[in-house]
């Protein structure tokens, strides 16, 4: 996963970041193709709110529905943890991810100016109300 991060993000999570997340008890799911990791999603929750912290699909595995399957899966897990609403941040220019999230019912609810580094860019905050999505 850290290798995919380095390939995909300008400001990637390290292997240690993933290990700390796992040790901290976050929700963590991996899509595999045989022994190969094709993608992953990381989320956490507190009370009735959840947040998707990370999502990545290896470039060679994209446009096969893995990203959508991972997000649907983790939203289902959050719903089972009695989460009512889930949030995430995404780069404003990240059309692929924004289309994916919007196709799953996420809507824009805010913006964090200059939130990302390398390059500096605003984050758009998206939210989905789990009771309002029919696919869970």
Where does this chain bind ligand COA (CB under 6 A)? 8, 55-57, 62-68, 88, 90, 94-97, 99-100, 103
Strand, helix or coil at 48? Answer: coil
* Catalytic option among 40, 51, 77, 101: 101
Counted residue by residue, the chain has a size of 136
| CA 136 – CA 133 distance, rounded (Å) | 7
* Minimum gap (Å) between residue 60 Cβ and ligand COA: 10
* Minimum gap (Å) between residue 110 Cβ and ligand COA: 15
Shorter beta-carbon distance to ligand COA: residue 52 or 83: 52
Burial class (CB in 10 A: 0-12, 13-18, 19+), 91: middle
* Catalytic option among 49, 89, 92, 121: 89
Q: 62-68 long-range CB contacts below 8 Å, 24 or more apart?
A: 66/31, 66/38, 66/39, 67/39, 67/97, 67/100, 68/100, 68/103, 68/104
* Catalytic residue list contains 115: no
Residue nearest to ligand COA according to CB distances in the complex? 67
* Catalytic residue list contains 89: yes
* Minimum gap (Å) between residue 85 Cβ and ligand COA: 17
Catalytic amino acids?
89, 101
């Amino acid at each position: 996963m850290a290798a995919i991060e380095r390939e995909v993000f300008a400001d990637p999570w390290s292997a240690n970041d993933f290990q700390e997340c796992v040790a901290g008890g976050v929700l963590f799911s991996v899509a595999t193709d045989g022994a190969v990791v094709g993608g992953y999603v990381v989320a956490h929750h507190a009370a009735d709110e959840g947040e998707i912290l990370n999502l990545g699909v290896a470039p060679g595995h994209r446009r096969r529905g893995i990203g959508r399957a991972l997000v649907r899966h983790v939203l289902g897990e959050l719903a089972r943890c009695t989460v009512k609403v889930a949030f995430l941040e995404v780069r404003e220019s990240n059309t692929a991810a924004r289309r994916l999230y919007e196709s799953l019912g996420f809507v824009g609810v805010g913006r964090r100016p200059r939130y990302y580094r390398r390059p500096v860019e605003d984050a758009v905050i998206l939210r989905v109300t789990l009771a309002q999505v029919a696919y869970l």
